[in-house]
Chains A and B, each alone.
Chain A
Amino acid sequence: MSDAPKTSVSVTINGRAFEARPGELLIEAAERAGTYVPRFCYHPRMEPVGMCRMCLVEVDGPRGATLQPACYLRVNEGMSVNTESEKVKKAQDGVLEFLLANHPLDCPVCDKGGECPLQDQTLTHGSGETRFIEEKRHFVKPIEIGELVLLDRERCIQCARCTRFASEVSGDAQIAFAGRGDLIEVSPSPTVPFDSVFSGNVVQICPVGALTAKPYRFSARPWDLEQVESTCTTCAVGCRVAVQSSGNRLTRLLGVDSEPVNHGWLCDKGRFTLDSIDANEGSTDPLLASTRITEPMVRRNGALAAVGWSEALSVAANLLRDAAATPGGVGAIGGAALTNEGAFAWERFVRGVLGSEHVDAQYGDGLDPALLQALPKATIDEAASAGTVVTLTGDLREELPVLFLRLRESAVQKNNSLVELAFGSSALRSVARVSLPVRPGEANAVAQAIAGAAHSKDFAFSEGDLAKACGLIGESGEGVVFVVGRPNLAEDARVIEAAIRTLAERYPQATFLAVLRRSNVNGALDMGLAPQLRPGRGFDVSAAGRDTTAQIDAMVLGEQKAVLLLGGCLLGNVVNVARATAALEAANVVAVTGHGGATLAFADVVLPAAVQHERNGTVTNIEGRVSAVTAKIVAPGSAWPDVAIAAELAEEFGQSLGLSSVEGCAKAIEETTGYPALSVLNDDSSDGVVVGREGVVATRGPLDPMAFPGIRSAVTVGLGARTGSTLAVDLTTKSSTTAAALDQVSAGRGVDVPLADAYSLRLNVSRRLYDRGSAMQGSPPMHGLIRPSALCLNHVDLDRLGVTSGTVVSVIGVHGTVSLPVVLDGAVPRGSAEIPFATLSASGEYVLSALVVDAGVYSQIRLETR
Chain B
Amino acid sequence: MSHFRQDIRQRADELVALYPRSRSAMLPLLHLAQEQDGYLSDEGIAEVAELTDTSAADVRGTASFYDMFHLEPVGKYVVGVCTNIACLLAGGEEMLEHASVTLGCAVGATSEDGLFTLEESECLAGCDVAPCVQVNHRYVRSTTPEEFDTLIDDLRRGRLDSDVPAHGTLIRVRRSGGLRAPRAEVAEQRTEAKAARDARAAKEEKK
Is A701 close to B, CB under 8 A? no
Inter-chain contact B65/A174, CB cutoff 8 Å: no
Inter-chain contact B57/A180, CB cutoff 8 Å: no
Inter-chain contact B56/A192, CB cutoff 8 Å: yes
Residue of chain A at shortest CB distance from B42:
A191
Specify which chain B residues have a CB less than 8 angstroms from the CB of A187 in the assembled complex.
Answer: 57, 60-61, 64
Chain A 60-86 interface mask (CB, 8 Å, partner B; 1/0): 000000000000000000000000000
Chain B 40-64 interface mask (CB, 8 Å, partner A; 1/0): 0010011000000011111111101
Inter-chain contact B57/A192, CB cutoff 8 Å: yes
Is A167 close to B, CB under 8 A? yes
Specify which chain B residues have a CB less than 8 angstroms from the CB of A756 in the assembled complex.
Answer: none
For the complex, give the distance between the alpha carbons of A192 and B50 in Å.
14
Inter-chain contact A180/B64, CB cutoff 8 Å: yes
Specify which chain A residues have a CB less than 8 angstroms from the CB of B58 in the assembled complex.
Answer: 167, 173, 176
Inter-chain contact B55/A174, CB cutoff 8 Å: yes
Specify which chain A residues have a CB less than 8 angstroms from the CB of B64 in the assembled complex.
Answer: 178-180, 187
Inter-chain contact B65/A189, CB cutoff 8 Å: no
Q: Given A189-B45, A190-B42, A191-B42, decide whether A175 and B57 contact each other with a Cβ distance below 8 A.
A: yes
Q: Which residues 39-94 in B have Cβ within 8 Å of A in the complex?
A: 42, 45-46, 54-62, 64-65
Inter-chain contact A191/B46, CB cutoff 8 Å: yes
Specify which chain B residues have a CB less than 8 angstroms from the CB of A189 in the assembled complex.
Answer: 42, 45, 55-57, 59-60
Chain A 377-411 interface mask (CB, 8 Å, partner B; 1/0): 00000000000000000000000000000000000
For the complex, give the distance between the alpha carbons of A180 and B122 in Å.
14
Residue of chain A at shortest CB distance from B45:
A189
Residue of chain B at shortest CB distance from A175:
B57
Q: How many interface residues does chain A have, given as a range? A: 10 to 19
Specify which chain A residues have a CB less than 8 angstroms from the CB of B65 in the assembled complex.
Answer: 177-180
Residue of chain B at shortest CB distance from A192:
B56
Residue of A167, A189, A190 with highest tally of chain B CB at under 10 A:
A189
Q: How far is the CB of B47 from chain A (nearest CB, A)?
A: 12
For the complex, give the distance between the alpha carbons of A188 and B62 in Å.
12
For the complex, give the distance between the alpha carbons of A187 and B58 in Å.
9
Q: Given A189-B56, A192-B55, decide whether A176 and B61 contact each other with a Cβ distance below 8 A.
A: yes
Inter-chain contact A178/B55, CB cutoff 8 Å: no
Specify which chain A residues have a CB less than 8 angstroms from the CB of B42 in the assembled complex.
Answer: 189-191
Q: Secondary structure of the B side of the interface? A: helix
For the complex, give the distance between the alpha carbons of A799 and B55 in Å.
26
Q: Which residues 177-216 in A have Cβ within 8 Å of B in the complex?
A: 177-180, 187-192, 194
For the complex, give the distance between the alpha carbons of A179 and B60 in Å.
9
Q: Given A172-B55, A173-B54, A192-B56, decide whether A178 and B46 contact each other with a Cβ distance below 8 A.
A: no
Residue of chain A at shortest CB distance from B59:
A189
Inter-chain contact B56/A178, CB cutoff 8 Å: no
Q: Given A179-B65, A180-B65, A190-B42, decide whether A173 and B55 contact each other with a Cβ distance below 8 A.
A: yes
Residue of chain B at shortest CB distance from A181:
B65
Q: How far is the CB of B186 from chain A (nearest CB, A)?
A: 23
For the complex, give the distance between the alpha carbons of A190 and B45 in Å.
11
For the complex, give the distance between the alpha carbons of A175 and B55 in Å.
9
For the complex, give the distance between the alpha carbons of A188 and B57 in Å.
5
Q: How far is the CB of A49 from chain B (nearest CB, A)?
A: 15
Residue of chain B at shortest CB distance from A194:
B57
For the complex, give the distance between the alpha carbons of A28 and B57 in Å.
33
Inter-chain contact A176/B62, CB cutoff 8 Å: yes
For the complex, give the distance between the alpha carbons of A180 and B54 in Å.
20
For the complex, give the distance between the alpha carbons of A175 and B42 in Å.
15
For the complex, give the distance between the alpha carbons of A177 and B42 in Å.
17
Specify which chain A residues have a CB less than 8 angstroms from the CB of B45 in the assembled complex.
Answer: 189, 191
Residue of chain B at shortest CB distance from A188:
B57
For the complex, give the distance between the alpha carbons of A188 and B55 in Å.
10
Q: How far is the CB of B45 from chain A (nearest CB, A)?
A: 7
For the complex, give the distance between the alpha carbons of A179 and B58 in Å.
12
Inter-chain contact B60/A178, CB cutoff 8 Å: yes
Residue of chain A at shortest CB distance from B46:
A191
Residue of chain B at shortest CB distance from A186:
B61
For the complex, give the distance between the alpha carbons of A167 and B42 in Å.
21
For the complex, give the distance between the alpha carbons of A172 and B57 in Å.
10
Specify which chain B residues have a CB less than 8 angstroms from the CB of A175 in the assembled complex.
Answer: 57
Q: Which residues 598-643 in A have Cβ within 8 Å of B in the complex?
A: none
Q: How far is the CB of B21 from chain A (nearest CB, A)?
A: 14
For the complex, give the distance between the alpha carbons of A625 and B42 in Å.
47
Say which residue of A172, A177, A194 sits within 8 Å of B61 (CB atoms): A177
For the complex, give the distance between the alpha carbons of A178 and B61 in Å.
4
For the complex, give the distance between the alpha carbons of A167 and B65 in Å.
17
Specify which chain B residues have a CB less than 8 angstroms from the CB of A173 in the assembled complex.
Answer: 54-55, 57-58
Specify which chain A residues have a CB less than 8 angstroms from the CB of B57 in the assembled complex.
Answer: 173-176, 187-189, 192, 194
Q: How far is the CB of B70 from chain A (nearest CB, A)?
A: 13
Q: How far is the CB of A728 from chain B (nearest CB, A)?
A: 45
Specify which chain B residues have a CB less than 8 angstroms from the CB of A167 in the assembled complex.
Answer: 58
Specify which chain B residues have a CB less than 8 angstroms from the CB of A190 in the assembled complex.
Answer: 42, 60
For the complex, give the distance between the alpha carbons of A176 and B61 in Å.
6
Chain B 108-123 interface mask (CB, 8 Å, partner A; 1/0): 0000000000000000
Specify which chain A residues have a CB less than 8 angstroms from the CB of B61 in the assembled complex.
Answer: 176-178, 187
Residue of chain A at shortest CB distance from B61:
A176
Q: Which residues 98-154 in B have Cβ within 8 Å of A in the complex?
A: none
Specify which chain B residues have a CB less than 8 angstroms from the CB of A194 in the assembled complex.
Answer: 57
For the complex, give the distance between the alpha carbons of A167 and B54 in Å.
10
For the complex, give the distance between the alpha carbons of A858 and B42 in Å.
43
Chain A 528-570 interface mask (CB, 8 Å, partner B; 1/0): 0000000000000000000000000000000000000000000
For the complex, give the distance between the alpha carbons of A701 and B160 in Å.
69
Specify which chain A residues have a CB less than 8 angstroms from the CB of B59 in the assembled complex.
Answer: 189
Say which residue of A176, A177, A179, A180 sits within 8 Å of B55 (CB atoms): A176
For the complex, give the distance between the alpha carbons of A174 and B54 in Å.
10
Specify which chain B residues have a CB less than 8 angstroms from the CB of A192 in the assembled complex.
Answer: 55-57
Residue of chain A at shortest CB distance from B55:
A173
For the complex, give the distance between the alpha carbons of A178 and B66 in Å.
10
Specify which chain B residues have a CB less than 8 angstroms from the CB of A172 in the assembled complex.
Answer: 55
For the complex, give the distance between the alpha carbons of A546 and B138 in Å.
81
For the complex, give the distance between the alpha carbons of A471 and B64 in Å.
43
For the complex, give the distance between the alpha carbons of A179 and B69 in Å.
11
Residue of chain B at shortest CB distance from A174:
B57
Q: How far is the CB of A795 from chain B (nearest CB, A)?
A: 11
For the complex, give the distance between the alpha carbons of A697 and B110 in Å.
67
Known pairs A173-B57, A190-B60; list 5 more (Cβ under 8 Å). A174-B56, A187-B60, A189-B59, A190-B42, A191-B45
A-B pairs with the 7 shortest C-beta distances?
A176-B61, A189-B56, A189-B57, A178-B64, A178-B61, A176-B57, A173-B55
A-B contacts, 28 of them at CB < 8 A, read A172-B55, A173-B55, A173-B57, A176-B55, A176-B57, A176-B61, A177-B61, A177-B65, A178-B60, A178-B61, A178-B64, A178-B65, A179-B64, A179-B65, A180-B64, A180-B65, A187-B57, A187-B60, A189-B42, A189-B55, A189-B57, A190-B42, A190-B60, A191-B42, A191-B45, A191-B46, A191-B56, A192-B55
Binding site for A on B (CB under 8 A): 42, 45-46, 54-62, 64-65
